[in-house]
Amino acid sequence: MEPDVKAPNIKLERRKIFSCCICKLNFPYDSYGPKCHTSTMAFLEDAYMIIDPFTTCSHSICVGGKCASCFRAVCADSKCSLFFSKRFCAECCRKNCDMFPEILLGEIRQMRH
Ligand SMILES: [Zn+2]
Ligand SMILES: [Zn+2]
Task: Please report whether residue 9 resides in a domain.
Answer: no
Asked if the model's pLDDT at residue 15 lies above 70, the reply is yes
- Neighbouring residues of the ion ligand 2, judged by CB less than 5 Å: 67, 69-70, 89, 92
70 Cα to the center of ligand 2, angstroms: 4
Structure confidence at residue 81 (pLDDT): 96
Structure confidence at residue 14 (pLDDT): 72
Task: Please report whether residue 71 resides in a domain.
Answer: yes
Tally of domains within the chain: 1
Task: Please report whether residue 94 resides in a domain.
Answer: yes
Task: Please report whether residue 24 resides in a domain.
Answer: yes
Nearest alpha-carbon partner for 21 in 84, 92, 85 = 92
Q: What range does the domain containing 63 cover?
A: 16-109
When the pLDDT of each residue in the chain is averaged and rounded to a whole number, the result is 82
pLDDT tens track for 19-59: 999 999 999 998 887 654 554 455 567 889 887 767 655 57
Structure confidence at residue 39 (pLDDT): 47
Residue 19, burial from CB neighbour count under 10 angstroms (0-12, 13-18, 19+)? middle
59 Cα to the center of ligand 2, angstroms: 28
**Amino acid at position 32, single letter:** Y
Question: Where on the phi/psi map is residue 71: left (φ > 0), alpha (ψ -120 to 50), or beta?
Answer: left
Higher pLDDT: 45 or 106? It is 106
Asked if the model's pLDDT at residue 113 lies above 90, the reply is no
Task: Please report whether residue 10 resides in a domain.
Answer: no
**What b/e sequence results for 53-92 when a residue is b if at least 16 CB atoms lie within 10 Å of its CB, and e otherwise?**
eeeeeeebebbbbbbbbeeebbbbbeebbbbeeebbbbbb
The structure's pTM equals: 0.76
Q: CB 22: neighbour CB atoms within 10 A?
A: 23
Higher pLDDT: 39 or 96? It is 96
Task: Please report whether residue 5 resides in a domain.
Answer: no
Ligand with smallest separation from the Cα of 24? 1
52 Cα to the center of ligand 2, angstroms: 28
Nearest alpha-carbon partner for 97 in 107, 89, 86, 105 = 105
